[in-house]
Structure 1
Amino acid sequence: MIGLITLAADTGVNETVLTGALLLALPVAVLGGLVSFFSPCVLPLVPGYLSYVTGVSGTDLAEARRGRMALGASLFVLGFSAVFVSYGTLFGNFGLTLDSYRETITKVLGALTILLGLAFMGVLGGFTQREFRFHSRPAMGLAGAPLLGVLFGIGWTPCIGPTLAAVNTLAFNEASAGRGALLTVAYCVGLGLPFILAAVAFRRALGAFAWVKRHHVWVMRAGGLMLVAVGVLLVTGVWDRMIADLQVWSSTFTPGI
């Protein structure tokens, strides 16, 4: 993650932060990552992922060395982060290229985000509930962890698809490759940090996972409601007005130091 954050900084992150435009989008991106992690087609498989990327059998995970567990989880997170950050960079660059049509495209993407939010809540059926994933797997253990992360990033839908699509819509709206990269880094922090924490404290994490699994319907509804809300803000133009207000505020803000 450190390397990805450095890359984002080299492509214009400092300018982004100073404008204040991401003060609203970054928390949404982090929350989107967390919602993706706790979705019912990711959370139940966390023990399996950790077992695979560390080379430790599922029954031995609780007793495995924390260093190995943390390293395997981190390599896995780096793998899917590389994929997602490239998506964000691409969408941000598209936003810059198509700036003259940005308002219309943003509304269309906002409407799509609303539909994805409804699908995430389970309101829509059919194709929105199907899963598409790669069934080929790399070698088990630390060496295969980054590649498994890449495969996860490319082929795991629909559970992470709606939230990631919303973040990419925000990246498009930012009209900057650097800002798009930063937004998806934030998304990857929200999605990846729980993986690493679960690896470091696996036994304690099992209790938290059990609670979330019992209440997964409400988790999905809350996540879908967040996506619908973001979509409505984009379609109505309220998002752009909020960003403009934040830019004005940040331009007049003077640090106390």
Structure 2
Amino acid sequence: MRAFTMGVILALGWTPCIGPILSSILAAAATRTNLLEGAYLLLIYSIGLGIPFLLTAVFMDQLLPKYKKFNKYLPLVNKTAGVLLIIFGILLLTGYIEVINRMLL
């Protein structure tokens, strides 16, 4: 039951991050003239998405002690990530994200 719950939480948490990127890859794959080009894009995306999970599973015994050491920093990481999300949300709402995007390009 614990693994199922963690899976549901992971799916809910990563959907906003994965969705826009996956939809862009799917749109790019759909516009390819050759089926293999589109399949290649999706294959590369899948490999890039899957490798961190596979490596984490393979090296779980070595990583678990490091994760436990990292726990003391989690409150700071959570607060920092929350502040960054709020700032990014304000930039999106006000339209300044487009200005920053134009400056970077």
- TM-score bracket, normalised by the shorter chain, equals 0.5 to 0.7
Matched, 1:211 2:57: no
Task: State the partner residue of 1:237.
Answer: 95
User: Which 4+ runs in 1 deviate beyond 6 A?
Assistant: none
Structure 2: where are the runs of 5+ without partners? 29-44
Q: Distance in 2 between matches of 1:164 and 1:240?
A: 23
- 1:198·1:205 contact (CA, 8 Å) conserved in 2? yes
1:168 touches 1:180 (CA, 8 Å); kept in 2?
no
Mark the CA change 1:196 to 1:158 in structure 2 (over 3 Å): closer, same or farther: closer
Q: What's 1:85 paired with?
A: none
Secondary structure of 1:214's counterpart equals helix
Match of 2:9 in 1: 156
User: 2:71 and 2:64 mapped to 1: Cα distance?
Assistant: 10
Higher helix fraction (1 or 2): 2
TM-score (norm. length: structure 2):
0.53
Q: Which residue number in structure 2 is paired with residue 254 of structure 1?
A: none
Deviation of residue 245 (structure 1)? 3.0
Cα separation, 2, equivalents of 1:181 and 1:221: 35
Distance 2:27 2:77 in 1: 27
In the alignment of these two chains, the number of paired residues is: 84
**Contact 1:233/1:239 (8 A) holds in 2:** yes
Structure 1 residue 210 displacement after superposition: 0.4
Q: How does 1:1-257 map to 2 (within 5 A)?
A: 49=3, 152=7, 155-156=8-9, 160=13, 164-165=15-16, 167=17, 171=20, 177-178=23-24, 189=49, 193=52, 195-246=53-104, 249=105
Label 1:168 to 1:157 Cα distance change in 2 as closer, same or farther (>3 A).
closer
CA distance in 2, matches of 1:159, 1:219: 20
Report deviation, 1:207. Answer: 1.8
1:241 alignment partner AA = V
Distance 2:26 2:83 in 1: 23
* Aligned equivalent of 2:36: none
Tell me the distance in 1 between the aligned counterparts of 2:83 and 2:100. Answer: 19
Percent sequence identity over aligned pairs: 19
Shift of 1:222: 2.0
